[in-house]
Amino acid sequence: MLLNSCGMVRVGCHVSIAGSIDLAVARALERGCDTFQIFTRNPRGWKAKELDERTAAAFSERLHAAGIGPVFDHMPYLPNLASPDKEIYEKSVAALTAELERCGMLAIPYLITHLGHHGGSGLESGQARVSAAINRALSDAGGGVMLLLENTAGEKNGVGSTCEDIGKIMDGIEDIGRIGTCLDTCHAFAAGYDLRTQDGIEDMLGQYDDQIGLERLKVIHLNDSRGGLGSRVDRHEHIGMGGIGEEGFCRILRSPVIRLLPLICETPVDDRRDDAGNIAKVRELAGENGPS
C-alpha cells in the first residue's frame, strides 16, 4: 500500500452498515476515509441476515465509484475460535466460514478475526483449536479472501497476545498463503509492547518479523489505550489521549513499516472527538517530524 497523492497516510475508521451495507461507502466518505472497516452483519448475535446479490452489487458499485479502499470486514463478537466448549466452537467455525463467504460475495479482500479465549484449558490447546478452526473454515469457504489474525490485549485466558503466540497458531495453518495479520496498537500496548518509544517500536517490529513475518502484516488498527503499558485491558481511546500519547503516535507513524499500511481507527465517538476528528489527528501527527 503506497502513500496517496497528497503524501499522507491511508487512514479510515470502522463504519456502520445500518440500513444497508452499501450505505457504508457514503459514511466512509463523509468521515474523510481513504480506507475503512465494516461488520457485514449484526456483530452481537449468532444469526445473520443473508446477503442478496442486489445489495452486494450496490456495495461494489458504490465502492468503485468512491475510489477508496481497501475495505476490511471484521468478525462479530461472539465466535471464539479457541473455545473448549464444543457447541460454541462449532458455531464459531461455522460463523467464520460464513463470514469468509460473505466477504467473497461483497468482493472484500480481507477478513479480520480475534483469536479467542481458551477458557482455562491452556494456551497450547487454545492455539491448536484456533489453527484447526481456521483450517476448516478456509477449506469449506473456498475463494480468495485473506484472513487476518489480530493480536489481543493479553486478557486472562486470551490467545494471540504475543508475536510468539500468533506465530505458533500460524505454524498449524495449512493454507498459509491465505493468512495475514492485523496489528492493533492498543492491544499491543496493553499486552506489554512499549509503543511510546523508538526502541520499543523497533523491538516489537523485530519480534513480529522473527515470529510472524512483517510481510504478513496487512493493516494497522490504530488505537490509543485507556489502560497503561502491560495493563492487559482492552479499552480503546482517542488517538493521542491515552497511554501511548501523541508523541508515541508520532513515532509509530514515522515507522516506514506502519506508515505504508492502511490504518483503521476503532476509537470512541463522544463529545471530545468523533471519527473524522481522529482521522484528522492521525494525518496531523503523520505530517509532523515527531519527537527525536
Catalytic residues: 44, 74, 77, 114, 150, 184, 187, 221, 234, 236, 266
Q: Locate the DSSP E strands across 118-203.
A: 146-150, 179-184
Residue type at position 99: E
Q: Which burial class, exposed, middle or buried, applies to 271 when counting CB atoms under 10 A from its CB (0-12, 13-18, 19+)?
A: exposed
Contact 202/254 with Cβ under 8 angstroms? no
Half-sphere exposure of 248 (CA within 13 A, CB side): 23
Output the nine-digit C-alpha cell for 52. 442478496
Q: Is 180 left (phi over 0), alpha (psi -120 to 50) or beta?
A: beta
The secondary structure of residue 158, as a DSSP letter, is B
Cβ neighbors of 161 (< 8 A, separation 6 or more) are 151, 152, 153, 154, 155, 187, 191, 232
Nearest of 159, 278, 158 to residue 222 by alpha carbon: 278
Cβ neighbors of 24 (< 8 A, separation 6 or more) are 15, 16, 17, 36, 38, 59
Cβ neighbors of 179 (< 8 A, separation 6 or more) are 134, 146, 147, 148, 149, 170, 173, 216
Question: Residue 249 and residue 57: Cα distance in Å, rounded?
Answer: 38
Contact 192/229 with Cβ under 8 angstroms? yes
